[in-house]
Amino acid sequence: MSERARRAIATFAVATLVSAACVLLGLWQWHRYVARSAAVAVVQANYDAAPVPIGQGVGGDATVSAPEEWHPVAATGHYLPHATVLLRNRPVNGTSGYHVLAPFLVQDGALAGTVVLVDRGFLPATGDAARVPSVPQPPTGQVDLVARLRVAEQPTERQAPAGQVQAIDVAAARSTAAQPWSGPAVHGYAQAVTEDGAPPAGLGSLALPSTDLGPHLSYAFQWWVFASGALVGAVVLIRREGSASGPRRPPRRRHPTAEQEEDALLDAQEAAMRRATSTPRRDLP
């Protein structure tokens, strides 16, 4: 095998590897786009829907699944006393603060006797990071709750100060509460909309869910363009190298034009006349 052929094979092999990597990166961005599109579709379908009983919204296994997320549910029950905890490091619209989490015992419907953890709202932080602001307590007695379902967050091993958690996790909230509660609980949580027909008192609203699809689709197409460009560039490089290493043709001789021939004759005649006039005369003896 000639050196030229080996170089061509090596060039095309490298281009193929680069192209394959770009294709895989494009597929990764495409899958992210598909997942994000599905999440946005759930928000658009559920967020402004009419509330349904919490037993109907959650389902028989007491687990909030992705298709049910953001759907409003209604429940009658009461908050468990002395069980409120704070979710730390969750700013809302650029403002640092806490989310106030309280367990709610459902008293009606299919989930009667089951606890659902409720994110009641946002509590802005004070200027002193070491001082926790005063936490508004949930209403006492029977409460008619309307809330939006959310999928459970992943537990974390990060430590938090007493009475605070790093993730909205039922087990963490249960063990962190001043008076830990017991009994069955919904795997997931709910964001409070109203308590007895009004927003939770003393707390700010939580951030709205984003419906932005992000740049994943454009990134996917960019990676696929790079993949095709790597192969095309390799072909162009191989062709150029082949043409540069081939036999060189002698340069073409250009035929003079009629004007150039006429100018050459005139120049020759003028030169002959100059030689004739400059020849010295010899005297005869």
Does residue 201 fall inside a structural domain?
no
Does residue 206 fall inside a structural domain?
no
Separation of CA 160 from chain center:
28
Does residue 257 fall inside a structural domain?
no
Q: Do 37 and 166 reside in the same domain of the chain?
A: no
- CA angle 18/235/30 to nearest 5° reads 35
- Residue 284 has a pLDDT of 43
- Residue 61 has a pLDDT of 83
- Residue 125 has a pLDDT of 86
Per the structure, the count of domains in the chain is: 2
Left if phi > 0, otherwise alpha if psi is -120 to 50, otherwise beta: which for 282?
beta
Beta carbons of 118 and 54 less than 8 angstroms apart: no
- Interatomic CA distance for residues 3 and 9, integer angstroms: 10
Residue 210 has pLDDT above 90, yes or no: no
Does residue 158 fall inside a structural domain?
yes
Q: Do 143 and 24 reside in the same domain of the chain?
A: no
Residue 283 has pLDDT above 60, yes or no: no
60 band by pLDDT with thresholds 50, 70 and 90: confident
Does residue 280 fall inside a structural domain?
no
Q: Do 127 and 152 reside in the same domain of the chain?
A: yes
Mean pLDDT of 1-13: 83
Q: Give the range among 125-139, 150-164, 191-205 with minimum mean pLDDT.
A: 125-139
Q: Do 157 and 123 reside in the same domain of the chain?
A: yes
Residue 106 has pLDDT above 90, yes or no: yes
Query: For residue 168, what are the domain limits?
Result: 50-195
- Interatomic CA distance for residues 123 and 133, integer angstroms: 8
Task: Name the residue with tokens 């007493």.
Answer: 162
Residue 179 has pLDDT above 80, yes or no: yes
Residue type for 196, please? D
Residues in CB range of 113: below 8 A, 6 or more apart: 105, 106, 107, 183, 184
Q: Estimate the crossing angle of helix 216-245 against helix 3-46, to 10 degrees.
A: 170
- CA angle 40/109/43 to nearest 5° reads 5
Does residue 140 fall inside a structural domain?
yes
Q: Do 28 and 122 reside in the same domain of the chain?
A: no
Cα Rg of the chain, angstroms: 40
Q: Do 119 and 235 reside in the same domain of the chain?
A: no
SS3 of 211, please?
A: coil
Q: Do 57 and 184 reside in the same domain of the chain?
A: yes
Does residue 208 fall inside a structural domain?
no
Q: Do 38 and 113 reside in the same domain of the chain?
A: no
Does residue 254 fall inside a structural domain?
no
- Interatomic CA distance for residues 220 and 280, integer angstroms: 89
Q: Do 57 and 187 reside in the same domain of the chain?
A: yes
285 band by pLDDT with thresholds 50, 70 and 90: very low
75 band by pLDDT with thresholds 50, 70 and 90: very high
The whole-chain average pLDDT of the chain stands at 86
Question: Which structure tokens are listed for 101?
Answer: 């989490």
Percent of the chain's residues with pLDDT above 90? 50
Q: Give the range among 40-44, 51-55, 276-280 with minimum mean pLDDT.
A: 276-280
Q: Do 173 and 237 reside in the same domain of the chain?
A: no
Q: Do 34 and 73 reside in the same domain of the chain?
A: no
- Residue 251 has a pLDDT of 59
Q: Do 33 and 59 reside in the same domain of the chain?
A: no
